[in-house]
Structure formats: structure tokens, C-alpha cells
Amino acid sequence: GNSVTQMEGPVTLSEEAFLTINCTYTATGYPSLFWYVQYPGEGLQLLLKATKADDRGSNKGFEATYRKETTSFHLEKGSVQVSDSAVYFCALRTVAQKLVFGQGTRLTINP
């Protein structure tokens, strides 16, 4: 079945540091890939997505590239801020199937 594996947290960084959260997937067919973010006390928000190989999703300074050859969709940001502290979920979906989420990575940014 489809599955998503993302790096375990928690991840703690200083402000302005470079961020990478690894995400790899297993899927039949050609999935769409997503990164969601969950701020404290809130639901999930779609951060970015990519629907085919080599697509790059970007939003709010975050980027991720759909790499079919390595079945990966790593999340990156060049300079994190305290306001980026949240839990990040990598997810995939194939046609007519439900969203499958990774376990989530808690990110804390210290000033």
C-alpha cells in the first residue's frame, strides 16, 4: 500500500538557519505530493504541493521538489523564523484514493 516516511522530530533550529525535513514515499501509480503545516491549536493547512515528477512546490519561502527517481519530496527553507515553529506533515494521494500522511515532524525555532 501507499506510505510516507518522514524524518523523526523534534527538530530544533536557531532563527535564520537552513531547514531540511526529509520525506520519502512508497506508492503505486503516480501520486500527488503535499506538505501540510499544523500550528499549535489549529488544523492542518496546505503549505505546498506537486503533482508530477520534477515539479517544485513553493510557498512562504518553503520549497520541495518531486523526485521520482529517489521517491522523495524533501521540504527546505533557506532561513527559518520563529513563526515557522509548527508540526509539518508530508502526504501523498493517488487518483481516487485518500490522503496518506507521514508521522509529522515537530519544528521549533529559537530566537
Partner 1 sequence: KAGVTQTPRYLIKTRGQQVTLSCSPISGHRSVSWYQQTPGQGLQFLFEYFSETQRNKGNFPGRFSGRQFSNSRSEMNVSTLELGDSALYLCASSLGAPSYNEQFFGPGTRLTVL
Query: CA-to-CA distance for 80 and 77, rounded, in angstroms?
Result: 6
Asked if residue 98 binds partner 1 (CB under 8 A), the reply is yes
Asked if residue 59 binds partner 1 (CB under 8 A), the reply is no
Name the minimum Å distance from CB 58 to partner 1: 16
Asked if residue 41 binds partner 1 (CB under 8 A), the reply is yes
84 φ, ψ (degrees, to nearest 5): -85, -5
Query: CA-to-CA distance for 108 and 84, rounded, in angstroms?
Result: 8
Asked if residue 5 binds partner 1 (CB under 8 A), the reply is no
Q: Which of residues 74-93 bind partner 1 (CB under 8 A)?
A: 89, 93
